[in-house]
Structure 1
Amino acid sequence: MEIITGGVTAAKGFWAAGVEAGIKYQNRKDMAMVYSKTPCRAAGVFTTNVVKAAPVLWDKEVVESEWEAQAIVVNSGIANACTGKLGYEYCRETAGAAADALEISPQSVLICSTGVIGMQLPMEKMTEGVRMLAKAIKPGEEVGTDAAKAIMTTDTRNKQVAVKVTIGGKEVTIGGMCKGSGMIHPNMCTMLAFVTTDVNISKKLLQEALSADVQDTFNMVSVDGDTSTNDTLLVLANGQAGNHEITEKGADYDTFVEALHYVNETLAKKIAGDGEGATALFEVKVIHADNKEDAKTLAKSVITSSLTKAALFGHDANWGRILCALGYSGAKFDPEAIELYLESSAGKILIFKDGMAADYSEEEATRILSCSEVTALVDMKMGEAEATAWGCDLTYDYVKINADYRS
């Protein structure tokens, strides 16, 4: 697998654009379009929140049908959530505008929104934005970046990744972009993510690969414990790589899954590291657990602990908070048996062993915790299962950002 620059326009046949439509923000791009020159197999995973935004309902209908997708239209600033039947009708209207501008079917247009809940979309601006996007779309890395910037809300940076692999003797590219910074929690986060690929694969296997992989990537991320109304992860595959269609599991499928996993994990970590107000990416890796589910439960419990996140912000090796979070996770283990390490680019230290604090230097621990990426490694000493979760520290700025989010 070769890691390359780019995002949603890296794969063959995908174009993009980002424009200023004035949906809520001024003097910044706030609408994006991703377009494939040929129809695509589409797969998707969506929020588990019972309160689902209108675009989620629209996209689920498209993805779960036999329709092929060809375009994605995204706006930031207004979520189009809790907007009733009118909000859904606005999705239909947006898809119709894109279909007219691109000369494709409305059922091949996916719609996504992110931003403030409860506001109705300004449809004149939306439809004009769609027309602007249709005129602006083109291939290339620059427009891919424009699109990645246009979907941001409280994000501090755009998030993109792309890789190349060889499948069936053909070069296959997978690229992606995402947004997400707050209201992020497992079972899909407050995030939008779009992955494009030129691989030729059946719709059934594309969905199966995505549904399985999200369990170890996007569903292992948490910033603040809030699961959004708008979470959407879409994958479009247009088949332009020219490989023989992947219709069954085997070496070609495994190669695709490995590349998809890298893209999804990279995007998930970018979201965690850019949590609202965050200064550090917090990775929790649980190893030698009794089973996979317990490993996931333990890792998630630590990254969602507000006390642990606050200690990370203070560069304080307060290992008691980590042990506490492990203890109330619901997983069964012997606290006398586990070992706990802290690790970053500044080094690695053992801080807990045999049921008590290890002999370590607080100064060294502080140095390790002062880096922009910190890992807590928890060795359960029970079995062979492992899992990794990603979060961030909890800072003063998180409260400031969310105290006046609507204004």
Structure 2
Amino acid sequence: MSGSDRTAGERTTNPPVRRPADWDAERLRSLAAEYGTPLYVLDPDRVRQNCERLLGAFPDATVDYAVKANTTRTVLETVEQAGLGAECASAGEVRRALDAGFPAERVRYTAVNPPAADLDAVVDWWREGGDGLTVTVGARDALDALAERGYDGRLCVRVNPGVGAGHHEKVTTGDAPQFGVPFDRADEVCTAADDVGEFVGLHAHVGSGVSGEDLSAHEVLVARMAMLADELDPAPEFVSVGGGLGVPYSRDEPPLDLESVADATRDAFDCDARLAVEPGRYVVADAGILLTEATTVKETEETVVVGVDAGMTTLLRPALYDAYHEIRSLSGTVDGDDRHARDPTLCLVAGPVCETADVLGEERVLPAPERGDLLTVGTTGAYGYEMASTYNSRPRPAVVTLDGETVARRETLADLTRLEADGDDDGTRGADTRTADTRGDDA
């Protein structure tokens, strides 16, 4: 049943977040043996289920996927087939969404201080048959830049509502000055947008990873945006109140009650425009897991250090946000019935980068670790592979589905130096921003 076929009175199942222990251990071991580590594993079925829950919770709203959470072709195709739209933060994400099959009318480009090259590309694609595309602007300058390029299509205005929340100060956007036009100037910018093209929507976003007490800030944002929408002339078709739905990464965090969030959003949204939401993390976070192998085990006075082949270049969130990801060993058991189970040991799990920040987890209880152990790092489907880097000249890991389909092959050192090797050309080689589908390549 699609979201449009449901009524707000119907309740949808909101299962607990998928933890490392919920994945098939034997299957994960098999994938690690076949493709090596570090390795990201994605489950498209879980992505599809999460999309269905969102459509069920917001039956009368437009649900767009925040593409930046995970841009792999497999995820995008799964999300598109589920019926969600695509909310894109860059020209590259717009291209990926279009290439994955999203029709232009279900794609929205939310430009934050957009580079000229991004605007050039998006306007070109709009001219080439993407006239249903919607561009969101967060500054008057962006409107002028679009007008200079001849864009007169659908326009949405991002507003700074003066209220923010999120799991970390670095992802609290609703009250940060770089995001959106000031609330008291929204009217004039919306009028200007209608002069440049067709003003169709408002947008605001409180922050990322919102849950628990932070939901009150989300409700305030929704109410403010609804009030603004009713005051505008012309009135917007839709009001996007962002995404940012939190995922409880730790077992100690209460699960997100999606139905209650949806009800509270509807209650606060008192206007005639269509409600739009744009979750990203909720769609993919627990649809992904990271596999890594222990490379060294070292006992110290403070702890037992487990060195692994995944680090901040593989999964940046712990170093950047002090984020928690559950870690589980697949090479022993702490509380099982195995007579040869290893003793539970307090460990520090660290990566191969020579920086103190390169820690995936502190004070984690694992079966007494040994070199060669296979560890899983949970809920890494969102902002895991997406934020991976080649710092220290470390190639990015492979990504495969739970069924063993290659989503992205493992990078090689040759991949890392290819642009340097091509340095004698005119700089245009490989400039096409269209993304290649590498799923058929070997990992």
**TM-score under structure 2 normalisation?**
0.25
**TM-score under structure 1 normalisation?**
0.26
Which structure: larger Rg?
A: 2
Larger strand percent: 1
